[in-house]
Structure 1
Amino acid sequence: MTTSETLYFVSQQLNIYWGLTMFILGIIGAIWNILTFHHHTLRSSSYCTYLRFASVASLIQILFSLSDRIIYAGFDIPWTATNVAWCKIRYFSAHCTSLNALSFLVFSAIDRFFSTCDEIKWRRLNCASVAKRVCIFTIVFWTILTIPTLVYAKPVQIKLNRYSCENTSWIWSQIAVFFFSLCCYGIFPWFFMSLFGFLTWKNLRRIHHRRICIASSGIVTRKARIDDQLASMLFLQIFICILSSIPFCSQNIYSSVTRTMDKTELRQAQEYLYLQIARLAFYFNYISTFYVNYLSSAIFRQVSRQVLRNLFKNKENLSRQATMVNH
């Protein structure tokens, strides 16, 4: 086996084993996230509303996009790239849901900043009803903006008997690379999440100094503990978002710039391996949310365990508990 064949084989195995592991963990985490953030304890939080919408978008992204990568690049089943309707739906849903999920994460960072502000005009924006309206507007916005993907995405023959689902419009492909991949997947989320994360950290330090005398007397409200833990969830998610997006953005720009260059077979195999690593690493944005929340928040762990226990309880036990609570 030559070096090029070895690199292609490694790329295939990465998509099978690493991709399948991420697919299973992502489906479990996204569904568990949705159920947890829908729990009455967290439902009224605007921050959790953004994360609930992000979890739904992440679930769709994993089902349509990651599964297609496993089938096509892992098991080498070409029907996902030769079917015109599936090519358009998959390409459109991948772009639309990924943009929505990253937007909701950015809005969650802005929401945490509003929740720590002293001014009433900013704190009024920190409510679930505003968050729902923002999420619905964001979904409509990205859906309209990515409609050209449905028009230009088509199966393209890249080698003998081998097809790939790509943009057939040069102008739209350049927009997709330099606006969506570079700005919407990279610079904008990094900048806004880092900016509002830093501003939130400054506000939390100021609030922490105010709590010193209160904490010394043993009185710390539950809302204060929730705010601190939600901030921890946010900071860790910002770090993962930046770390997983850098290879994806750099690979897209490199592929676009060097598209017309003559490359050896070995270089093509090396670039293909890096492509698979960058694409799989980018899915950490959508897979890691539940596990980040679980590790960084004791309240989230408590609620998520309660949600899991409720799933295995029969309706009779749940109705009996509800009756006891009401009494």
Structure 2
Amino acid sequence: MSSNTELIRSMTLYGGFPIFICGTIGNLLNIRCLWRNRHNPCVFIILSASIINCIVLFYGLFTRILSVGFNLDWSSTNLIWCKTRVALSQAGYFMSLTCVCLASIDRFLISCRQEKYRNLSRLSFARWAVFVTIIFWLIHSLPELIYGTIIKNPYTGLTFCSVISPPAHMNYRLYISLPVYLGLLPSIILIITGLMTYRNTNKLQITRQREIIQKQLTKMMLIQIPIIVCSTLPYVIFTEYTVFSATIIKTSNQRTIENIITNIFTLLFYMSFACSFFVFFISSNSFRQEAKLFFLCHRTNLFRNIQIQPHPLPTIRDTTL
């Protein structure tokens, strides 16, 4: 059993730390590289998602690394931290996926031939959509903030943070919130809008327009969809299986295998919040040029700072009369 625990700990450390570090730096680079274009509706939504992703990676993944990897679980001793971690991490999951769906819908609207649909892609609409998204999911996570509590295991004596809510809310989380809002709905929206965007770009008559939209936007869409689907659905499906099979008597080997699989799918789940920068860098030429320009400017400034400045020549005074 100790070897299995050590395996899970090693997986969390060596798998979780790279995801957290690369994801946090990548989201910050998204903000830096896209900031000048923040008045574009789609870019504004992506910037909002990048900020939310940083919060998700901290409250969700980083605290998990501390808990599993270093046995530093503040949520098991501090009630306020327990409540805020559960509520903000869950709200962050939904906010981030909703922003990705909004950006996908915006790309579909801007690719339509009808002007009435293209006019819906406005910065004012994007701001209101992001604002409503944040407020809605914060309100949606209020029960976790209210019912989050610290529980003591009667067999081991260890304490842990959990949500003990009324049966109606527990059923809602089990049958609607987790499988629909986190799994099926974002995947369906991304797949449908991606296919419709691809269809619209193929109908464009101007070759230059087709090249710009299809290469810069559709590639980002097609790469994002499998990443989100493949990282989110396994986590949702296996979590549902774990909950439904909790009353079944299992051997210690079965529980160990399930714990390992849960850890793998949990780390994979956070990939969808950490990979956006790398998706944009690979699929978008303009974003890649902006990122390269950012790195080159910093490297140039660094070289300028470490250059050896020539000593000024001594001033020779003219002593002749």
Separation in structure 2 between the aligned mates of residue 311 and residue 86 of structure 1, nearest angstrom? 38
Q: Tell me how far apart the structure 1 counterparts of residues 46 and 298 of structure 2 sit (CA, whole Å).
A: 21
Alignment correspondent of 1:162: 158
What corresponds to 1:200 in structure 2? Answer: 197
Please point out which of 107, 110, 123 is paired with 1:112: 107
For the Cα contact (< 8 Å) 1:78–1:162, is it kept in 2?
Answer: no
In 2, distance between residues paired with 1:145 and 1:311? 42
- The equivalent of 1:295 in structure 2 is 282
**Identity of counterpart residues, as a percentage?**
26
**Equivalent pair of 2:88/2:141 in contact (CA under 8 Å):** no
Match of 1:215 in 2: none
3-state SS, counterpart of residue 161 of structure 1: coil
Which position in structure 1 is the counterpart of 2:31? 34
Contact 2:152 2:158 (C-alpha < 8 Å) held by counterparts: yes
Residues 271-322 of structure 1: CA deviation (Å, up to 9, x unaligned): 11111111110001100111110011110011123334456777xx9xxxxx
> Which of 235, 238, 251 is the matching residue for 1:264?
251
* Contact 2:38/2:47 (8 A) holds in 1: no
Question: Equivalent residue for 1:321?
Answer: none
1:187 equivalent in alignment to 2:184: yes
Map 1:11-160 to 2 at 5 A: 11-39=8-36, 42-158=37-153, 159-160=155-156
Report the 3-state secondary structure (helix = DSSP H, G, I; strand = E; otherwise coil) of the residue aligned with 1:164. Answer: strand
Distance verdict in 2 for CA 1:261–1:105, change over 3 Å:
same
RMSD of aligned residue pairs (Cα, Å): 2.0
- Superposed displacement of residue 95, structure 1: 0.6
2:232 corresponds to 1:236 = no
3-state SS of 2:195 partner: helix
Query: What's the CA shift for 1:35?
Result: 1.3
**1:226–1:299: 8 Å Cα contact kept in structure 2?**
no
Question: Amino acid of the residue matched to residue 45 of structure 1?
Answer: N
Separation of aligned partners in 1, 2:38 and 2:74: 41
Are the counterparts in 2 of residues 72 and 80 from structure 1 also a CA contact under 8 Å?
Answer: no
Q: Deviation digits for residues 193-227 of structure 1, max 9, x if unmatched? A: 101111001101111xx134xxxxxxx36x96256
The one-letter code matched in structure 1 to 2:105 is I
1:74-101 deviation digits (Å, cap 9, x = unpaired): 2222333232111111111101111000
1:246 aligns with 2:233: yes
> Is residue 255 from structure 1 mapped to residue 250 from structure 2 by the alignment?
no
The answer for unaligned runs of 5 or more in structure 2 is 305-321
Match of 1:324 in 2: none
The one-letter code matched in structure 1 to 2:279 is V
Task: Say which of 265, 269, 281 aligns to 1:278.
Answer: 265
Cα–Cα, structure 1 residues 172 and 44, in superposed 2: closer, same or farther, change >3 Å? same
TM-score scaled by length of structure 2: 0.88
Larger radius of gyration: 2
Tell me how far apart the structure 2 counterparts of residues 262 and 115 of structure 1 sit (CA, whole Å): 54
* Alpha-carbon displacement from aligned partner over 1:27-56 (angstroms, at most 9, x marks no partner): 1011111111212xx323211111111101
**Structure of higher RCO (CA pairs closer than 8 Å, 6+ residues apart):** 1
Contact 1:8 1:272 in 2 (8 A): no
Q: Give the AA of the match of 2:190.
A: M
**Could you tell which deviates more after superposition, 153-162 or 236-245?**
153-162
For residues 32 and 177 of structure 1, the distance between their equivalents in structure 2, rounded to whole angstroms, comes to 36
Structure 1: state its 5+ residue gaps: 213-219, 318-327
- Give yes or no for contact 1:23–1:62 (8 Å, CA) kept in 2: yes
Compute the TM-score of the two structures, normalised by the length of structure 1.
0.86
Q: Secondary structure at the match of 2:66?
A: helix
Secondary structure of the 1:44 match is coil
| SS of alignment partner, residue 160 of structure 1 | coil
Pick one of 278, 302, 305 that aligns with 2:292: 305
